[in-house]
Structure 1
Amino acid sequence: MLDLHYAPGNANLAPHMLLHALDLPHRLVLVDRGSDAHKGPAYLALNPNGLIPVLVDGDLVLYETAAICLHLADQRPGHGLLPAPGTAARGEAVKWLVWMATTLQTTLMHHFYPARVLGDAYLADHPDVTAHVSAHAQQQVGMLLGQIEAQLARHGGDWLLPGAGPTVPDYYGLMLCRWTRGFQGDASPPARTRPGLAPWLQRLLARPEVQRTWAAEGLQAPFI
């Protein structure tokens, strides 16, 4: 039995969707962010960074969402959520996953948490900088989403990588596109409004494993 330590709608969405897609028995362990449970000693013993999610698989404790996703997909390779190791297709899939985790997700975090870029003390003395950092990061997110649009258009398929079904980067991309649902202003529109992304996102939203994930976490529409 796998334990996924999660907070609703957090970065655990991608591994949670994979757990359902792979039919892996699992339990959800709620991390109460309202009481700062992720900063308490019990959680920090699992993840010293105090970030969510954490996956516990027997004696193995994993944090970093991309690492968790790779581990889960490799549990049942026959499901095709990642190409076979050593192939060019596997390299392409890992490239997109790592790009999403280290480039797109990081830029999104700069938008939502500018203090992580400059520090609370600096922002306290320069409150006008907060809005600038957030808006600039949002503009960068728009440029990065354009790379996903270009990839989908490049091969003309339904999913981020050529094939009959979604792979790990599709689920990860859906999670990150969800984070743009509240974007406002001219810096970058929400992902759901972009013509090159909307059909892809709707295909993912229609999948039963995605719907089960929203229901299990108690998420309400609009989902993206």
Structure 2
Amino acid sequence: MESSLYQLYYYPLNASMAPHFILEELNVDFELIIVDRKSNAQKSPNYLALNPAGRIPTLVDDGLAIFESPAICIHLAENHPSSNLIPKVGEKNRALFFQWLMYLTNTVQAELMVCFYPQKHTTNVKTVDNIIEAQEVRITEMFNLLDRELENKDFLVGNSISVCDYFLFMLAVWADEFKKPPLGFSNLSRYLRKLAKRDAIINVCKKENLSLSDYQ
């Protein structure tokens, strides 16, 4: 399976960023297809035929369409076991890998979505600012937990890069304008700056037009 052609339907700096990192890390043949969120292209009939949730990203692998960013990342990692981007079945770290990936997706990412789209979580527009403020406090506590976890560690799980690290880097980028951004934590900052030197992250950030100057 090492030479598959993948198609990633993406939009810059969206949840497609983590799968984009993984594809670059794997150094496989893939095609990027932009889904223009500005024109609501993710709700178009053609896109909905691939992804009925109408969200970004979608990965097409030999005719199989997969949505949900973490599911895509796991699929890619398991398609390329030699990459070691996911611990193998039977390894102790596999349970920790899923623990942290679920924490990043079900907790941190989910709370970020409430923070960024507060109007979807209230029927009273006057409460939007309160939601944003409360969410930032909650999410900052989550980054504090991750900062403690990363003490004396280069990677979130085990001794080599995994999907979890790329997923966390994406979420950190999203939160970079918080009062205390991820780079404001000592362990998290060290960790993110080291990740930012990886070719996969450099290449994706060039393609998605994100400056890494803050991470240098």
Shared fold, TM over 0.5: yes
C-alpha separation in 2, matches of 1:99 and 1:17:
19
Aligned mates of 2:75, 2:169 — CA distance in 1: 19
Number of equivalences: 211
Quote the residue 1:180 is aligned against.
175
Q: Aligned runs of 1:57-76 on 2, under 5 Å?
A: 57-76=61-80
- Asked if 1 retains the 8 angstrom alpha-carbon contact of 2:144 and 2:185, the reply is no
RMSD: 1.4
TM-score (norm 1): 0.90
Alpha-carbon displacement from aligned partner over 1:166-193 (angstroms, at most 9, x marks no partner):
1110000000010111223xxxx11111
* Partner residue of 2:154 out of 155, 158, 162: 158
1:87 to 77, 82, 91: 91
1:140–1:209: structure 2 CA closer, same or farther, 3 Å change rule? same
Structure 1 runs not aligned, ≥5 long: none
Q: Distance in 2 between matches of 1:107 and 1:222?
A: 26
- Which residue is equivalent to 1:107? 111
Can you give the 5+ residue segments of structure 2 that lack an aligned partner in the other structure? none
Contact 2:183 2:189 in 1 (8 A): yes
Deviation of residue 196 (structure 1)? 2.1
- The answer to whether the aligner puts 1:38 opposite 2:42 as a matched pair is yes
SS in 2 for 1:45: helix
| Deviation (angstroms), 1:210 | 0.6
Mapping of 1:1-224 within 5 angstroms? 1-118=5-122, 122-123=123-124, 127-153=125-151, 156-163=152-159, 165-184=160-179, 189-221=180-212
- Structure 2 CA distance for aligned equivalents of residues 222 and 64 of structure 1: 29
Distance 2:40 2:206 in 1: 24
Identity within the alignment, % = 33
Aligned partner of residue 68 in structure 1, secondary structure: helix
Query: 1:178 touches 1:223 (CA, 8 Å); kept in 2?
Result: no
One-letter code aligned to 1:56: V
The residue type equivalent to 1:55 in the other structure is L
- Cα distance change on mapping 1:31 and 1:9 into 2, 3 Å: same
CA positional deviation for 1:140: 0.6
Give the deviation of 1:216 after TM superposition.
Answer: 1.9
